[in-house]
Structure 1
Amino acid sequence: MNDDSSLVSSPPHPAADGAWRSAATVATAIRTGAISSRDYLELLLDRVDRLNPPLNAVVTLDVEHARREADAADRALAEGRHLGPLHGVAMTIKDSFQTIGMRTTSGAPELSEHVAEVDAVPVARLRAAGAVIFGKTNLPIYAGDTQSYNAVFGQTNNPWRLERTPGGSSGGSAAALAAGFTPFELGSDIGGSIRGPASTCGVFGHKPSYGIVPALGQIPGPPGTLTQADIAVAGPMARTVEDLELGLDLLAGPDQWHAPGYRLELPPPRHKDISDYRVAVWFEEASCPIDDRVRERLEAAVEALEAAGATVDREARPDFTFEYATRVFGQLLGAAMCGGFSHQEIEELAERGLREEEEGALAARWASQRHRAWLSANERRLQMRRKWHEFFKEWDAVLLPCLPTTAIPHDHSEPMGARRISVNGEQRPYGEQTLWVGLTGVAYLPATVIPAGVASDGLPVGLQIAGPFLEDRTTLAV
């Protein structure tokens, strides 16, 4: 990249700086004595100190505690004790996940001084694998936007171009990965919050099948909430597919309620050779067009897949329309996002939903819907899931856009629903950033985002690979 506002190279060169190593590579280096856990931590802390100020990706540090943990990891190795696959590997965590002894705010002013007394389940699983957590990364308030800014920590900028957003809600996570601040991140996703930032920052992300990674301890809801929101998942973000696979292995498994009687055994990838895969391509939708610069990179990825011998079909579709699926997604998302609203707020939204000419009326109506309306939407979702199941009897995966555009300029204007994005010079609704990811998320499908190259505007593009429910290893393999 030639843009002076960029903080990353294209692509990062692992040999140039040890900060670019994958988590698995770092773990091996620590285990074999090539680098100590303490030295690796100091390497990342130095990089954060020098390069984070213009990015504002890492918003909380717990340096002394992390140094103690790194030193303990080094002593354990010296004594012949190995603490897990991530033994001594320093990393950051999205600020929606409670982390013992560290400030966890979810970007909310009312939680600006909240220090977690427990680890969220995914955080605890990473610690159990030996991870050393030294910081938290930024997000929008309560993880509720496709940009990452809030009143507590301010705005996070995209390392590729500072005047652009890194996406949201895991925007700080993706920016930290792209800038070489961390080898691995823990993200969350209800409307593309792992997948969108992975695309805009040129990194890898995996949205697991719904329910296989317990997210207890994430905010929202309020600290202490036991409910896992519909559609919402926790999942890994990294700079390599191998790290996504490692992260999934560590994070997935039954929660405390189900562990006594259940175990998770995800099936292996459907095929060993890429030439054996049957892949559908779904890039065309008049109701949610994608920018030509994005399409160019996605088509190049499809051509590479075809050249490798995979069977590719651009016409295959499940037996429902894009508009039908995304409307069901919007209705269920609205319900899932309003769990923390007060009775008065719900009543106000219901009144607003009656004013159909008002911006955001439909979203207000969905957020305040009656339970019988949710039950009807859920049945439509289940019917779609069955149709996806039939579709994947013939096809192994489907390739989709992640976002209609590359990273958009920062826009904090209110109301959010009145914001617009530019697609091929046309002003389109801001909410269209969630539709291609909502298509798969609402059906609980696994989806992996991989970099598809750099568009002609100099910004990265991600390709979304979705597959059958619980066949996460297939989307990671493609």
Structure 2
Amino acid sequence: MDPTFLSAVQLAALVRGGKIGALELLDHFIGRAERLDSRINAIVVRDFDRARQRARALDNQADKSAPLFGVPATVKESFDVAGLPTTRGHAALKDATVRVSTLPVRRLEAAGAVIFGKTNVPVDLADWQSYNPVYGVTSNPWSTAHTPGGSSGGSAAALAAGLTGFEMGTDIGGSIRVPAHFCGVFGHKPSWGLLPNYGDPATSSAAGTDIACLGPMSRSAADLQAGLEILAGPDPDETALTLNLPAPRATALKGLRAAVWADQAGIAADPETTAAMLALADALEREGAIVSRSARPALDPLDAYHLYLKLLDAAWSGRLTEETLASRRRDLARLKDSDQSADAVMLRMTDVPHRLWLGLNEQRFRLRRAWTAFFREWDVLLCPAFATAALPHRQDGNTWERRITVGGREIAYNDLLFWPGLTGGYHLPATVAPIAATQAGLPLGVQIAGPIHGDRTTIGAAALIEQALGGFKPPPGW
């Protein structure tokens, strides 16, 4: 059996059953990376020798019961792995190795995974393109003229190309969901705070970041569920609490209560994306699901979107240098009151007092309650992960300086934050699953959102859609 495009759960079963050794399986994926990765440049940090040592040790281990036993895995470059650099795209950090692996990396390894490399990202994880001056440009295996997305772009590209068995990314503005959508794989952005991300004290924030999450990426919904069970749980240094997440609300498409939000007035959308969402609604109805194309939470979508943008800008403001802040102040002084682009909304958050942020956070939690009320009536919300399929490569200046045409409308590049922010800004879990392809052959995914801590429900719905529509399909030529 060719293991290339099997799920991580299937790969672990092969190793546990003695049908393939951990080292043999690892060498299979390393061989593919050595032969094929030059086409897309996804696995940019390679740790093959240490991975082989670990795989040999697993082959000699009597207990093979770990859920990801022997599965070759890679992780996003921003995760700390002891002995490797964590650059986030900054050349000055290329030779600075970290001492302590981040908690989720340690949890993956405790679950039996063999981490053999790290995958590419944009600078500071702040783009839907994955390129940086340290490791260069990563391309989408479905079309090397297109980006795999960002910031977990290398993660999604490596999965789609069959270069790794399991991946782990992070998400604050769609950084798991958008690459999964662009590359035709699965990704899960969990309920905020569910999966801790503390690493080397010298390089990692102990406090974490508002909205930001880490989560599994894979070629199947079953792998997302396995990853959730492995990675979720409080930081062991902080609390003795344990998790008891609710079971999935639905075990079949028949009876699943699904609200479909295919498009939004005032928000640019590619017609093929909208059509794919409506076709999914039709398909679910044929399977017996209870579908509404008009049900919405009791909130104003554009107000909720702008609130997300303000909170997003505040969340990552801690990483800004004094030079960047000075530049933002100059730009703010020139900003027109009529400018309501995403970049303008975020720019107005420069130097906001903490009291103002507290008021915004109160607004956010009131809207969280509106989402909670909505999910008493509906099991899941199905909406686009992004307004369009994979974007062509863009490396022209800063993201806030770019313009892009979507559905015949020219918009600011960062106005594409609407669909990631609509759910992510309110700490909801959201799973992306592949559902269709464009006429040009690029993948399209659906974003499946659910109630806070309803992670098993969104992943479970992804599994049901996977069964109905066929799930992951390898890109041609890989």
What is the TM-score of this pair, normalised by structure 1? 0.92
Q: Does 1:448 align with 2:453?
A: no
Ranges in structure 2 where 5+ consecutive residues have no aligned partner? 462-478
- Tell me, yes or no, if the aligned pair for 2:67 and 2:111 is still in contact at 8 Å: yes
Whether the aligned pair in 2 keeps the contact of 1:449 and 1:464 (CA below 8 Å) is yes
* C-alpha contact (below 8 Å) 1:296/1:455 kept by paired residues: no
Q: State how far apart, in whole Å, the 1-side matches of 2:383 and 2:322 are.
A: 38
The code of the aligned residue for 1:45 comes to I
- Give CA deviations for 1:226-278 in whole Å, capped at 9, x if unaligned: 12100000000000000000000000001124432x11110001132321221
Contact 1:337 1:367 in 2 (8 A): no
Superposition pairs of residues 273-422 of structure 1, within 5 angstroms:
273-343=252-322, 345-357=324-336, 360-422=343-405
8 Å contact from structure 1 (residues 349, 365) kept in 2: no
Instruction: Give the CA deviation at 1:420.
Output: 2.3
- The separation in 2 between residues aligned to 1:34 and 1:367, in whole angstroms, is 58
Correspondence for 1:7? none
Equivalent residue for 1:253, pick from 221, 233, 236: 233
Query: Counterpart of 2:470?
Result: none
Aligned to 1:68: 53
Q: Verify: 1:237 aligned to 2:217, yes or no.
A: yes
Match of 2:154 in 1: 172
Separation in 1, partners of 2:243, 2:238:
10
Say which SS state the counterpart of residue 366 (structure 1) adopts: coil
The alignment status of 1:84 with 2:66, answered yes or no, reads: yes
2:179 paired residue number: 197
Tell me the CA shift for residue 89 of structure 1. Answer: 1.2
Preserved CA contact (<8 Å) 2:273 2:387: yes
Per-residue Cα deviation, 1:372-428 (whole angstroms, up to 9, x for no partner) = 221121111011001111111111111111111111111111232121232223222
Q: Aligned to 1:276, what secondary structure does the other structure show? A: coil
Shifted more, 197-206 versus 109-118: the winner is: 109-118
Answer whether contact 2:380 2:449 (CA < 8 A) is retained. Answer: yes
Distance 1:336 1:222, change over 3 A: farther
> Matches of 1:433 and 1:423 in 2, distance apart?
9
Equivalent residue, structure 2, for 1:217? 199
Cα deviation for residue 102 of structure 1 reads 1.8
Cα deviation, residue 347, structure 1: 4.3
Decide which moves more: 443-452 or 363-372: 363-372
Which amino acid counterpart does residue 404 of structure 1 have in structure 2? A
Distance in 1 of aligned mates of 2:368 and 2:163: 38
TM superposition shift of 1:161: 0.4
- The CA deviation at 1:352 is 2.4
Displacement of 1:222 after TM fit?
A: 7.1
What is the CA-CA distance between 1:183 and the residue it aligns to? Answer: 1.5
Letter in 2 for 1:33: G
* 1:269 lines up with 2:248 in the alignment: yes
1:131 aligns with 2:113: yes
Between the aligned partners of 2:420 and 2:259, the Cα distance in structure 1 is: 16
Identity %: 44
| Structure 2 counterpart of 1:4 | none
Query: How many Å separate the matches in 2 of 1:361 and 1:392?
Result: 32
**Corresponding residue for residue 27 of structure 2:** 42
Corresponding letter in the other structure for 2:229 = D
How many angstroms apart in 1 are the aligned matches of 2:406 and 2:37? 30
Contact kept, 8 Å, 2:306 with 2:345, in 1: the verdict is: no
TM-score w.r.t. structure 2 length? 0.92
**Residue 23 of structure 1 corresponds to which residue in structure 2?**
8
CA distance in 2, matches of 1:119, 1:455: 40
2: CA distance, partners of 1:238 / 1:415: 30
Match of 1:54 among 39, 43, 67: 39
Contact 1:453 1:462 (C-alpha < 8 Å) held by counterparts = yes
2:430 partner amino acid: A
In 2, Cα distance between the equivalents of 1:264 and 1:141? 34
Instruction: Please give the secondary structure, in 2, of the residue aligned with 1:392.
Output: helix
SS at match of 2:404: strand
Q: Kindly indicate whether the alpha-carbon contact (under 8 Å) linking 1:230 and 1:336 is maintained by their aligned counterparts in 2.
A: yes
Contact 2:160-2:183 within 8 A present in 1 as well: yes
Superposition pairs for residues 139-178 of structure 1, below 5 Å?
139-178=121-160
User: Within the alignment, does 1:434 sit opposite 2:417 as a pair?
Assistant: yes
Task: Letter of the 1:53 partner, please give it.
Answer: S
Deviations 1:183-239 (A, max 9, x none): 210000000000000000000000000001001128xx9704212100000000000
Q: Say if 2:433 and 2:445, in contact at 8 Å, map to a contact too.
A: yes
8 Å CA contact 1:83, 1:128 repeated in 2:
no
| SS of residue matched to 2:54 | helix
Kindly indicate whether the alpha-carbon contact (under 8 Å) linking 1:215 and 1:228 is maintained by their aligned counterparts in 2: yes
Paired residues of 2:16 and 2:65 also in contact (CA < 8 A): no
Q: Which amino acid counterpart does residue 207 of structure 2 have in structure 1?
A: T
Per-residue deviation, 1:116: 1.6
Are 1:174 and 1:198, in contact at CA under 8 Å, matched by a contact in 2?
Answer: yes
User: Alignment partner of 1:234: what SS?
Assistant: strand
Residue pair 2:309, 2:345 contacting (<8 A) in 1 also: no
CA distances 1:304-355 after superposition (whole Å, capped 9, x unpaired) = 1111101001111111111011100100000111212234543442342222
Distance in 2, matches of 1:222 and 1:284, equals 44
Query: Could you tell me how far apart the structure 1 residues matched to 2:301 and 2:345 are?
Result: 18
SS in 1 for 2:81: coil
Q: Give how far 1:105 is off.
A: 1.5
- Rounded to whole Å, the distance in 1 between the matches of 2:221 and 2:350 is 36
Gaps of 5+ in 1: 1-14
Q: Residue type of the partner of 2:184?
A: G
Q: Which amino acid aligns with 1:99?
A: V
Residue range with higher mean Cα deviation, 328-337 or 279-288: 279-288
Q: 1:114 aligns with which of 74, 83, 96?
A: 96
CA RMSD of aligned residues (A): 1.7
Q: Deviations over 1:46-67 (max 9, x none)?
A: 1001110020101010111011
Paired residues, number: 457
CA contact (8 A) 1:402 1:462 kept: yes
- 1:109/1:367 CA distance change after superposition, 3 Å: farther
